[in-house]
Structures are given as C-alpha cells and as structure tokens.
Amino acid sequence: MNHQSTIIVTGAAGFIGSCMVQYLNEQGFENLILVDDFGVEEKRKNWESKKFIQIVERYNLFDWLEKNNSQIDFVIHLGARTDTTEFNYAIHEELNLQYSKDIWNYCVEKNIPLIYASSAATYGSGEFGYDDDHAVIEKLQPLNPYGISKNEFDKWALHQQNHPPFWTGLKFFNIYGPNEYHKGRMASVIWHSFNQIKKDGVVKLFKSHRPDFKDGEQLRDFVYVKDLVKVIDWMMQEMVNGQWSMVKNGIYNLGTGKARSFYDLASATFKGLDLKPNIIFIDMPEDIRDKYQYFTEANMKKLHDAGYTDSFYTLEEGVDDYVRNYLRADRIW
C-alpha cells in the first residue's frame, strides 16, 4: 500500500477515529477523507491539525462519493453512536446498523476492503464467554441497545453472500487513551479518575453489587488506543498488500487478553501523577446496575493466528503514557 492511497475514516472527529487519523499521518498517509458530524465544536481540536484532503459530513457521505467519483482504496469505519446509556434503539439502529449496512454495500459495489468497529458490548454478561467464534454470535445477548445494534450488524455481515474483497469487524474491548475528553460519562475511568484527583485528590469507584466480586475488583480487558490503531493499520496493510487471505475475513476480538481490575486502573492513574492511591467506593447508579459487565477478557488467539505478533502495552505502561504525556500535558494525539 503506498502513501498515495485514499482512505476513508468514519468517526474521525471522535476518540478512536482521531487517534486512527493521527497514526495514519505518522505512517505517511495524508490522502484521508474524514467523515463525522463536524458541527460538535468541542471535538474540533481532535481533527483540525491532522493532515487530510477532505472532511465530509456523515449524512452527506454517499452523495459526496457519487458526485466526486473518488477512487477509494480503503474504508475504516469507526463512526457510531457509542452511548451505552442511550436506550432509544431507533437511534442506534439508524446510526450503527443501517449506516454500517450502507458502508458495507458501497464497499461491495466498489470492491473496497473494509475494517469496521464492533464492540465487546456484544458479549452481554459473558454467559457465552468472550470467544470471537462466528458460531457464538447468533446466541449473544447484549445488555443495552448499543450492544444490540453492534451485534445485529455482525450477524448481518456474516450472512451476506456479497461482501468486500477483504473485511474484518473488530470487537473493541475497554479502550482508553488521548482524545476522549469530549465523551463525558462515556469516557474511560482513567479520564474520570484524573479529573477527580485534580479536583478532590480522591478517586471514586463503584462498589460491587455482586458477592463474588469485591469493591473495585470488577475486571475488564483495558486496551490502549495506540495498540488498537496499530492493529487496524497492520490489518489494512496485510489486506492491501495481498498478505490477507479470504479465509481470514471475519470478526475478531481486540483487547489485550488480560483482564485487570478498576482498582489497578485507578492506582496506575495516581502513579502517573506521582501520587499515592486514595480510592473510595460509591454505589453504582441504579440505571446501569443490572446492565453492568463485571468481567470481560478477550480471547486473542484468532488475531495471533492471523499473524499479529506485536506485544501490547501493559495496563501500567498504557496508563502512564496517557496520564503523563496527554492528560497532565493537556495534549491531544
């Protein structure tokens, strides 16, 4: 794949999308078409200093492509409504399911490879484990409309007779890192912890409301966004350079494969600020209590078998980089 290739990145003003654009820029890719709702002024700093050839409003993408008749070499579809507390399924259905189908169909028609974002929210409470086995996807029971919309698209994609020449859906686990400041309640616990420490010198974590988990010992597979975008770039290069066989198409987990506790996460945030941990526990809000995942851990064998061999940041390494070089410095990536 050469640096003149034209790549669409959806969700480019958001957290993961803007990090993806930055990573591509650092690899020498500047022929980028950034797609998002660019009217959200607070997201402007995520994208305005990046190198790209065009920004296109999300609702206008397909009209724009038709009018410009652009030669697109790759699509990285990261745009979605990601708010897990938005319970109006119609919103998720339009933005996550229907829009993704439109992207897919465009890539089929134009023979363009596609990588899209799925989510570990598809796994629900984990009663079927966290294996990216296609046979399990039909059985999964996500806990919220966001997870349902992501799983519905995964199921739809697997049933398609016509598909892009190469494609993968990536089930992102708990992603953290720079450029997430605009996400509010949906931002990572690290971002919230950093701001709590600055304000009050203390981090509040949710109590456990299950007897089999101690307070703060709820476990998640936390993955640093710098690893995530590196995996996407690797897959893209493999697909475009002929190293990716059709049998590798499908849905993959993208976590670290190692679950860690929220307590460890908060402690690492204090360490990134050169402070001793000061952590207290509060009741979990009732509106999310019965929809809360207590344990997630990606089975990463499929990605490794596909040929990805690079190591991932440990929790301590990732949090330290994020806190010292971005949060403390008030920098985006």
Give the C-alpha separation, 172 to 254, whole Å.
5
Phi-psi region of 312 (alpha: psi -120 to 50; beta: other; left: phi over 0): beta
Give the C-alpha separation, 147 to 143, whole Å.
7
Question: Which residue of the set 23, 99, 123, 146 is catalytic?
Answer: 146
Q: Is 146 a catalytic residue?
A: yes
Give the C-alpha separation, 328 to 43, whole Å.
19
By CB neighbour count within 10 A (0-12 exposed, 13-18 middle, 19+ buried), where does 58 fall? middle
Question: Which residue of the set 45, 101, 110, 183 is catalytic?
Answer: 183
Written as one string, the DSSP assignment of 88-102 is -HHHHIIIIIIHHHH
Running DSSP on this structure, what letter comes out for residue 38?
Answer: T
Of 156, 182, 152, the C-alpha closest to 167 is 156
Q: Catalytic residue positions?
A: 146, 183
